[in-house]
Amino acid sequence: MKNVMKKVLTPHLVSYAVVILFCLLSLQLQAGPRSAPREPIVFENPQVEDDYLELSEELRCLVCQNQNLIDSNAELADDLRREVARMLKQGKTKEQVKDFMVERYGDFVLYNPPVKPQTWLLWGGPFVLMFWGLFAMLKKIKAGKTENNDDSSALSEQEKEKLQAILKNK
């Protein structure tokens, strides 16, 4: 019996077990409000459902910040989805729902940042860089062309004489 235990409880296995135990413990510590699974959100009007889906993709979940409301499993995302659905069913427009969210969570809640002085660099920067690159490229090409046109690479008188001499000797 002892031998069997020794065989089963190799150091490797023990360390794996410890690691797994810690993982489980940390899962336990993952805090979140306790709540029962929720009812699915049901729509009667397909137009409202489309609006809902569109909005849930445009709005960011603030808990897992690189996910939108549709993707996120966070409790807050679920609350916000329900809030969006509730407002749309009440007849609010998409813009009104967006404004509601921005009033509370700021522009950060929008995946598409609005165009305003603070974000001009964000929206305009890439175009500025692109035009700058184009301009630099055109300038370079032009410079290259004029270089080919001037006669700096052509043979000078001296060189021509030298060439003739070589050809004659042949």
Instruction: Give the residues across from 46 on adjacent strands.
Output: none
Residue bearing tokens 């549709």: 70
Q: How many CB atoms lie within 10 A of CB 49?
A: 16
Please report whether residue 35 would count as binding other proteins according to CB under 8 A. yes
Cβ atoms 115, 123 nearer than 8 A: yes
Q: Interface mask (CB under 8 A) for other proteins, residues 84-113, using x and -? A: ------------------xxxxxxx-----
d(CA 170, CA 166): 7
Closest CA to 64 of 86, 40, 80, 87: 80
Question: Which CB sits closer to other proteins, 106 or 144?
Answer: 106
Q: How far is the CB of 62 from other proteins (least distance, A)?
A: 3
CB of 9 to other proteins, least distance (A): 33
CB-CB contact of 67 with 77 (8 Å): yes
CB of 129 to other proteins, least distance (A): 10
Can you tell me the distance from the alpha carbon of 94 to that of 53, in angstroms, rounded to the nearest whole number?
A: 11
Q: How many residues bind other proteins, per CB under 8 A?
A: 21
Q: Does 28 bind other proteins (CB under 8 A)?
A: no
Single residue of 29, 42, 141, 165 touching other proteins by CB under 8 A: 29
* Interface with other proteins (CB under 8 A), residue from 41, 70, 76, 110: 76
Q: Which residues bind other proteins (CB under 8 A)?
A: 29, 31-35, 62-63, 65, 75-76, 79-80, 83, 102-108
